[in-house]
Amino acid sequence: MRCPRLYELPPSPPGKTGWPWTEESPQLPDTMPDGRPWPRVSIVTPSLNQGQFIEETIRSALLQGYPNLEYIIMDGGSTDNSIEIIKKYEPWITYWESKKDRGQAHAINKGFKRATGEIIAWLNSDDRYLANAISRIIREVNKNPYAVAWVGGCQLENPDGKILSIVIPKGLDLPDFSRWGYKTHFYQPSCFFNREAFFRVNGLNENLKFAMDFDLWLKLSKVGRFAGISDIISVATIHRTAKTQDQRLKMHAETISIQIIHGYIPSAGERLTSLLADAANINFTKFLKGKISGIWKTLFKRTKR
């Protein structure tokens, strides 16, 4: 499907201006400069009760001006206004459903099984692409066609649109991947990957709730190379109700367990040591009795499986 034009989409809600409300990416020509067809790109958006954000997410994907886009929404049975919003954009959505699933990873895996694109990515329903994001990634795909993933920079914002920070990809070599957050770092909405490689490593681990993306990056890094660009191509919305913010203890525990399972025990120790160091700057006794003991309890449950 060719991306729709701005005038074809439903009008923006009152007071909403700028990208992707009243602005669009330029339409790309029907073929690439060398005459070849554009590779199909499949985007999956998993969602559950994100009516506050999902319309902006949808528009940011649809208004890319890309000639060969497949857009899929996997809703987990929302009870807010999400379905009403999705239906507004139904003519431009390749497939969508709203039914109970087994969590975010399960929803994404289901979506990718329906996808037919050579290049795939998921865009959570509280994040969004910036203008020209897909075309910029495809230029990198053409430069590095044998990479398993292509990742750009990400802008972190609060729900009011205030920029919190900008993260540029770093440490994309295999030895660095285990040291996530220290040596290697990038944000998930700015990562696109090869569909064949995704299924070669069996996709996302549906038993993981917080760090399924980190586990995927480790698996992909063992079968191929990541290519990085400094362009900012997405925005991640940082808000208190996001699970990685609301349940950071469990997120750290899951990350450590993944490092151990993949055989990166020194890296797991490094993360735990860093948490202890942070605790020393706050209230060591309280932290030790609370967060660290909680991490070990959660970690024991995960590595025991």
If you average pLDDT over residues 23-46, what whole number do you get?
97
Please tell me the least confidently modeled range out of 68-82, 127-141, 167-181.
167-181
User: Quick one: pLDDT at residue 253?
Assistant: 86
Number of CB atoms found within 10 A of residue 302's CB = 17
pTM: 0.89
Sort residue 121 into left (φ over 0), alpha (ψ -120 to 50) or beta.
beta
Given a contact cutoff of 8 angstroms between Cβ atoms, the answer to whether 261 and 212 are in contact is no
pLDDT at 174 over 70: yes
If you average pLDDT over residues 26-34, what whole number do you get?
95
How is residue 9 written in tokens? 């989409």
* Class of the domain covering 6-239: alpha beta
Please tell me the least confidently modeled range out of 11-25, 38-52, 187-201, 246-260.
246-260
User: Quick one: pLDDT at residue 288?
Assistant: 47
Give the residue carrying structure tokens 């942070």.
278
Give tens-digit pLDDT for 96-119.
999 999 999 999 999 999 999 999
If you average pLDDT over residues 244-268, what whole number do you get?
82
Number of CB atoms found within 10 A of residue 45's CB = 26
How is residue 172 written in tokens? 């994309």
If you average pLDDT over residues 255-272, what whole number do you get?
88
User: Quick one: pLDDT at residue 284?
Assistant: 46
User: Quick one: pLDDT at residue 278?
Assistant: 67
User: Quick one: pLDDT at residue 182?
Assistant: 85
User: How high is the mean pLDDT of the chain?
Assistant: 90
Largest CA distance in the chain: 65
pLDDT band at 273 (very low <50, low <70, confident <90, very high): confident
User: Quick one: pLDDT at residue 270?
Assistant: 87
pLDDT at 295 over 60: no
Higher pLDDT, 305 or 200: 200
Portion of the chain with pLDDT greater than 70, in percent: 88
Given a contact cutoff of 8 angstroms between Cβ atoms, the answer to whether 302 and 257 are in contact is yes
How is residue 101 written in tokens? 């699933």
DSSP 223: T
User: Quick one: pLDDT at residue 250?
Assistant: 82
Give tens-digit pLDDT for 196-241.
999 999 999 999 999 999 999 999 999 999 999 999 999 999 866 6
pLDDT band at 298 (very low <50, low <70, confident <90, very high): low
pLDDT at 242 over 80: no
pLDDT at 243 over 60: no
Alpha-carbon separation of residue 104 from 20, 76, 236 (angstroms): 25, 8, 16
